[in-house]
Structure 1
Amino acid sequence: MTTVGNEPPAGGSLAETFVLRLWEPPHLVRREAEALRGVVRHIRSGRSTTFADGESLLAFLRAEGRADERAIGGQP
């Protein structure tokens, strides 16, 4: 089991865990561009950010993946 501040166990999974909280606008106001909004938190590091579209969510997920690679000696 991996918790905040702990390294993954030797030989364990390299999967990362994130918590997503999605905001859904009222059905009468909903537009496709507003369909994906919320907050994402990376469990191990505790870092989080808000996002208003898929691009900003993916940017955070990718950045956290690169940060973890650097922390365990992987390629930048």
Structure 2
Amino acid sequence: MKSAKAKATNYKACLALEVPAYVAFYKAPPEFLGDDALTIEVKYQGGRTEIQKITVKVSAPGGQQKI
């Protein structure tokens, strides 16, 4: 996980948007192909917790990966 800033242009009525963000990086084990799953727990100020379940499809080198 890394702290970052997310930028978006032409988002709804906003021409430029920049907000704080966290970025998660995924690296599959060597020679792994197939579906892998991970869970991220996000804790907000005030005590609210949110669980994000993400499935990553790992394909051969040069293939497109879909999240």
TM-score, normalised to structure 2, is: 0.27
Larger Rg: 2
TM-score, normalised to structure 1, is: 0.25
Structure with more strand by fraction: 2
